[in-house]
Structure 1
Amino acid sequence: MKKLLSILALMLLAQPALAAINATLYKSPSCGCCEEYVKYLEKNGFKVNAINSNDMSAIKTQDGSSNLASCHTTRIGNYTVEGHVPVAAIQKLLREKPSIAGISAPGMPQNSPGMGPEIKGTLKIYQLGNAAEPKLFSVE
């Protein structure tokens, strides 16, 4: 009986770690690669609320990602994730909690999640912020 109670207690304690991470993704209603990125996030443990917008430039201006823009913008916690950013970079962002607005994979790189086969180690992820020159966050 003690063993069963111990197992149940461990399961309850582990539950928060298994909870999905909420993400709100803003995208154009006609963008196919955005839908692929939503699927990618969901396969990797995110609960995605996808919102269609016909004014993506307004969203990008709000969060300072317009100089490193891509086709969609995701909000996860207090951070902005711009474009086809690999989950590894998002996990690093959430784990390290740097004092930045977010991260970006600018443009629509062919080797990124949602844009064809992902080629690890080739994608530059930049910090979002007010810096005149983009600052590298990671290479994924």
Structure 2
Amino acid sequence: MLNHKNKIIASTLAATVAMFTPSFATPDPKNMPEMTLYKDPNCGCCTAHADYLKENGFKVTMIDHPNIVEIKQQYGTLRGASCHTIVMDGYVIEGHVPVASIKKLWAEQPDIKGIALPGMPYNSPGMGPEKKGSLKIMQINNDTSITQVFNIE
């Protein structure tokens, strides 16, 4: 059991550690770079994902591209392919990635190419009702390999 003196020391130590521990505050999308979303001209779910991002405060420009595979090859997302590719200030975001993962990517700014939600899961933003904890957001490494989970949404 801690006595009064030890409680003060423990409290001071905790405050000191907190001061020097980096914190990754959730960034405000309004202060984040604009996104460019490349999509097939006829894809409605890509537009729905862009609308979801805009509703959450992101600045999104959509570009219809006649050969979306070419975009995925250019940005290195083909191994984790979904229906659209987003470019945001040097990072790529492939597919229907939830905003929490995009904010995490921007807050932490890891040395990776980007993140991906491969395929088109029904319960992802823009594809149907989102089911928390069911989506595996994958990390796209700089060599374009996908070897680990970035986080689970």
- Establish whether TM, by shorter chain, passes 0.5: yes
Answer yes or no: is 1:47 the counterpart of 2:59.
yes
For residue 119 of structure 1, what is the amino acid of its counterpart? Answer: K
Higher strand share: 1
After TM superposition, which residue ranges in structure 1, 4 or more long, deviate above 2 angstroms?
Answer: 16-21, 129-134
For residue 44 of structure 2, what is the amino acid of its counterpart? Answer: G
Q: Is the 8 A contact 2:35 2:87 kept in 1?
A: yes
Distance of 1:17 and 1:23 partners within structure 2: 10
Answer yes or no: is 1:65 the counterpart of 2:77.
yes
Answer yes or no: is 1:134 the counterpart of 2:141.
no
Match of 1:91 among 97, 103, 107: 103
Seen in structure 2, the aligned counterparts of structure 1 residues 103 and 133 have a Cα distance that, compared at 3 Å, is closer
- Counterpart in 2 of 1:13? none
Distance of 2:89 and 2:95 partners within structure 1: 16
Match of 1:111 among 116, 123, 137: 123
For residue 105 of structure 2, what is the amino acid of its counterpart? Answer: L
* Structure 1: segments with no counterpart, 5+ residues: 1-15
Distance of 2:29 and 2:82 partners within structure 1: 30
Distance of 2:106 and 2:50 partners within structure 1: 18
Q: Is the 8 A contact 1:68 1:105 kept in 2?
A: yes
Question: What's the secondary structure of 2:54's corresponding residue?
Answer: helix
Seen in structure 2, the aligned counterparts of structure 1 residues 53 and 94 have a Cα distance that, compared at 3 Å, is same
Distance of 2:41 and 2:146 partners within structure 1: 31
Q: CA deviation at 1:113?
A: 0.2
TM-score (norm 2): 0.77
Total equivalences in the alignment: 125
